[in-house]
């Protein structure tokens, strides 16, 4: 900041050339009034100001020589000639003062004044900051856009260096939630040159070790987008052991089912608007996500407009790809009564969650039946069943309708079904089984709508053919497989067909299908079990990253007596396909650790242990909530712990630490291919 050569208070003399350093809250008219000059004279003295309504803190304003007023207490630089340079000091490490987002608006194409210092190790005082009490998607997006990361020389790669960590530092500092670049040996932020600098890898470790002290907590990719859309500073970090890591900012935007959260980042590629999956070939589950949600969200949780032009929305709402069926774009909740509720109800009818008769009792009214339908839709799509219709539910509905369109609107039942059910959804299931060749129309006609022995057998055969445990129950895994089968081009047979020859019953023999190219981590144990973990995920849905982390934790990297004597890598108790072994184990009971003898399952091979591990979660109803979050390894780990998988109170934290440390989510992405 420019400082006066002498004194902090001065009258403006007609014998000197004067300049003034703009402060937060200043306007040109305010400066002119205090300087004793007209606004027009002040504007004429500052031809560099293109927009008199847009000035920023730190900007230098020329004060006309004939000024007679006083700018008491405000930084004014004096000189004896127009060419004399003002005295400057080193950049301040104090956080910038907040400026109202209403007075400054940026579109992300040009960096704001004061943000282009290429001495990247020095902090900058951005003109726009956001107070934690004023979080909103618009404010957060505006703060990010002011740095215009794609066009800002501060972040341009040079001399072999990239600046992802500097961009992260600048944005979080402007959001008043600084992730520091300089820290002391205790991890506390410090001034320039007074500690050590954090590169991307070190920033990732700092977040794990110190982030919680400064308000940061780890979240899933989906939660990261949701909280960014509420205006909370949200970031991602990735440690690359033996290489260069990466960090970036999750910005307000739309969560893409394939590419993950919307981001802005510096690095080898500088972009103000992309998705994580555009950066990480392994998928959006690769990095770790963090949010600092200390503060108050005062705006809509709708994603803020991104800088790039977007197509004009269809009047009344968006449409899913390939269809003209309108999806409401406003957030809805119980008690609302408007045209968007009607649109929501129409889509719920279309997807099989409501009947037209139910809707007609309160068309446009978000009442108990609509609330129940939304919750069931959310459960079936791995979304917390709050009953509120927001960004996550909207995105899932768009995907569901898109799948329905690509399948020529051939509906797949959206409710869970099992032997003995008798309803309209069973009819839909039977129609799809006929279409896919697992039942004949004659078989269906003997009990249309009744989930009897023939339907049960058909579902089991479908499950076997698609790598799903043949329980005969129609749930999320079977539903997703059926939607893929129909969207993949299945057509209704022209003649009644004979069901495919049943495969032999699935026993404990693990699948042996190839999994493709798998990156080697350099860790012998992880490399030896990754194939089996990926096969297990493809068969059961259980994230490979969690499976590997549990194997590491439970078997002591494959060195435990249980893993060596019984091929049991997960400490699963009971009778196994090869019998059992009795071993002492430590349990956390009544607030203390005790040693007890227990029977543990015995397997014929390590691979057999892995597939049984996945089936264990499917076949135990207490893990039903966890199985709704198989696309989120972190959430899955916490849910199985909450359901009682282990008695160690720190069990899920240990799993998550292993997953992050060894970048195990890369195997989840491979399993989904």
Residue 399, judged by CB atoms within 10 A of its CB (0-12, 13-18, 19+), counts as middle
CA dist 19 and 431 (Å) reads 80
For residue 200, give Cα distances in angstroms to 49, 264, 276, 349. Answer: 38, 15, 16, 48
Instruction: Work out the number of other CB atoms within 10 angstroms of the CB of residue 244.
Output: 14
For 311, residues 6+ apart whose C-beta sits below 8 A from its C-beta are none
**Torsion sign across C-alpha atoms 184, 190, 194, 195:** positive
Token reading at 470: 């043949």
Q: Identify the active-site residue in 398, 612, 632, 639.
A: 612
Q: Identify the active-site residue in 197, 256, 457, 587.
A: 587
For 326, residues 6+ apart whose C-beta sits below 8 A from its C-beta are 314, 316, 317, 318, 319, 343, 346
Tell me the three state secondary structure of residue 514.
coil
For 151, residues 6+ apart whose C-beta sits below 8 A from its C-beta are 109, 110, 111
CA dist 384 and 391 (Å) reads 12
CA dist 554 and 533 (Å) reads 15
Token reading at 125: 């005082």
Is 340 designated active site?
no
Is 256 designated active site?
no
Token reading at 132: 């934690």
Q: How many residues are listed for the chain in this entry?
A: 673
Question: How far is it between the farthest Cα atoms of the chain?
Answer: 105
Whose tokens are 């700092």? That residue is 206
CA dist 459 and 439 (Å) reads 9
Rounded to the nearest 10°, the torsion over CA 156, 159, 163, 164 is 100
Give the catalytic positions in this structure: 587, 612
């Amino acid at each position: 900041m420019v400082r006066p050569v002498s004194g902090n208070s001065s009258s403006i003399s007609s014998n000197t050339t004067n300049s003034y350093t703009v402060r937060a809250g200043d306007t040109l008219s305010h400066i002119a009034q205090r300087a004793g000059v007209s606004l027009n004279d002040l504007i004429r003295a500052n031809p560099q100001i293109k927009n008199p309504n847009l000035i920023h803190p730190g900007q230098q304003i020329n004060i006309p020589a004939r000024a007679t007023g006083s700018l008491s207490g405000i930084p004014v630089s004096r000189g004896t000639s127009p060419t004399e340079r003002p005295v400057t000091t080193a950049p301040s490490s104090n956080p910038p003062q907040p400026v109202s987002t209403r007075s400054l608006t940026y579109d992300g194409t040009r960096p704001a004044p004061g943000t282009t210092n290429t001495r990247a190790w020095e902090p900058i005082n951005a003109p726009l900051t956001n107070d934690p009490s004023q979080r909103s998607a618009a404010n957060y997006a505006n703060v990010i856009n002011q740095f215009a990361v794609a066009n800002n020389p501060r972040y341009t790669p040079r001399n072999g260096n990239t600046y992802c960590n500097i961009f992260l530092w600048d944005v979080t500092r402007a959001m008043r939630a600084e992730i520091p670049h300089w820290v002391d040996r205790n991890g506390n932020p410090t001034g320039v040159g007074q500690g050590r600098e954090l590169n991307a890898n070190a920033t990732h470790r700092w977040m794990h070790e110190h982030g919680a002290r400064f308000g940061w907590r780890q979240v899933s990719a989906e939660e990261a987008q949701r909280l960014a859309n509420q205006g909370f500073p949200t970031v991602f970090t990735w440690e690359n052991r033996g290489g260069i890591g990466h960090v970036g900012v999750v910005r307000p935007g739309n969560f893409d089912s394939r590419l993950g959260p919307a981001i802005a980042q510096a690095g080898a590629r500088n972009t103000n608007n992309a998705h994580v999956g555009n950066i990480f070939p392994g998928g959006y589950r690769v990095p770790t996500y963090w949010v600092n949600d200390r503060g108050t969200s005062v705006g809509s949780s709708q994603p803020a407009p991104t800088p790039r032009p977007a197509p004009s929305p269809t009047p009344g709402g968006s449409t899913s790809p390939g269809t003209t069926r309108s999806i409401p774009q406003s957030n809805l909740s119980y008690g609302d009564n408007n045209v968007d509720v009607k649109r929501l109800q129409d889509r719920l009818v279309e997807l099989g969650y409501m009947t037209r008769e139910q809707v007609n009792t309160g068309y446009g009214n978000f009442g108990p039946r609509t609330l129940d339908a939304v919750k069931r839709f959310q459960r079936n799509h791995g979304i917390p069943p709050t009953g509120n219709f927001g960004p996550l539910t909207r995105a899932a509905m768009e995907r569901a309708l898109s799948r329905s369109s690509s399948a020529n609107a051939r509906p797949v039942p959206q409710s869970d079904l099992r032997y003995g059910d008798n309803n309209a959804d069973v009819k839909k299931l039977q129609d799809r089984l006929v279409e896919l060749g697992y039942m004949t129309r004659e078989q269906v006609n003997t009990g249309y709508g009744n989930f009897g022995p023939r339907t049960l057998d058909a579902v089991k055969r479908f499950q076997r053919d698609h790598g799903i445990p043949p329980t005969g129950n129609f749930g999320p895994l079977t539903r997703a497989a059926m939607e893929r089968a129909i969207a993949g081009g299945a057509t209704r047979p022209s003649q009644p067909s004979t069901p495919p020859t049943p495969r032999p019953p699935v026993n404990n023999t693990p699948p042996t299908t190839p999994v493709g190219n798998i990156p080697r981590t350099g860790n012998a144990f992880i490399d030896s079990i990754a194939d089996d973990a990926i096969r297990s995920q493809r068969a059961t849905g259980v994230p490979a990253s969690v499976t590997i982390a549990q194997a590491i934790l439970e078997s002591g990297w494959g060195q435990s007596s249980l893993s060596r004597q019984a091929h049991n890598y997960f400490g699963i108790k009971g009778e196994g396909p090869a019998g059992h072994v009795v071993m002492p184990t430590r349990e956390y009971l009544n607030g203390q650790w005790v040693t007890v003898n227990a029977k543990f399952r015995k397997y014929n091979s390590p691979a057999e242990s892995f597939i049984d591990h996945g089936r264990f979660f499917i076949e135990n109803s207490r893990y039903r909530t966890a199985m709704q979050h198989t696309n989120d390894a972190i959430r899955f780990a916490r849910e199985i712990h909450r359901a009682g998988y282990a008695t160690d109170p720190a069990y899920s934290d240990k799993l998550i630490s292993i997953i992050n440390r060894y970048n195990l989510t890369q195997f989840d992405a491979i399993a989904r291919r």
